[in-house]
Amino acid sequence: MKKLFIIANWKSNKTLDEAKDWLNKFSDHLKSESIDLSNKEIIICPSFTLLGFLSDLNRSLNLPIKLGAQDISPFDQGAYTGEIYGGQIKELADYAIIGHSERRQNFNESDETIFKKADQARKFAVIPVFCIQNENTTIPENISVIAYEPPSAIGTGHPDTPENADKIAEMVKSKYNTQFVLYGGSVKSENVKSFSDMPNIDGFLVGGASLNPSDFFQIVKNA
């Protein structure tokens, strides 16, 4: 049975109270329904303001969840106002999303900047979840987790086909010797199984559907 990464990208959403409510409701779902999580790595990626709070709450609830950051500074510690460097992230999270198309588009992030972020993540033993938009996206060396997210599928309700996503995942694995390729883009509980059944897809980066704990639980359950 292959390992599946199921990542919730909350983007710029949720207050402290809303995050607490989400985690408590997700905990209730896990307790009320017995599902096999032995091959599933559940990762929540909230805003930076929520990482410390969720780290403590997750520990108190004793949930099978890990945390990730939605970004990471391309710089080490120092005079970089507004940046969160890798050493700070590692205290609270094990993963960091890097190169998401929203950051490429809205913040004009270049390949050079994104590659620096990947280097900083590895320096501090934070696992990069490196996002690509297609098979031609440039990928740095030694990336173990890649997330294929076609921009046309993000938040549109029009996902890629499982067959095409699997084809791209196979190409990426062959070209870059990457161990895990995830799919992201309009992932829902109704279609998640059709993607996880593909031989080269190793999990999901979930956006809008991760904001509701019941919806996200069904994705975890059905994957």
Q: Are 80 and 116 in contact (CB under 8 A)?
A: no
Q: Are 202 and 5 in contact (CB under 8 A)?
A: yes
Write the CA distances from 185 to 32, 91, 110, integer angstroms: 29, 29, 22
Annotation marks residue 102 as catalytic: no
14: how many CB neighbours lie within 10 A of its CB?
18
Beta strands at 95-98 and 127-132: parallel, antiparallel or unpaired:
parallel
Q: Which of 11, 102, 5, 103 is nearest to 50 (CA)?
A: 11
59: how many CB neighbours lie within 10 A of its CB?
9
Take residue 56 and report the two structure tokens written for it. 């403590």
Burial of 194 (0-12, 13-18, 19+ CB in 10 A): middle
Active-site choice (29, 141, 149, 170): 149
Burial of 205 (0-12, 13-18, 19+ CB in 10 A): buried
Annotation marks residue 109 as catalytic: no
Return the H-helix or E-strand segment holding 1. Answer: none
Active-site choice (100, 112, 135, 190): 100
> What residues act catalytically?
100, 149
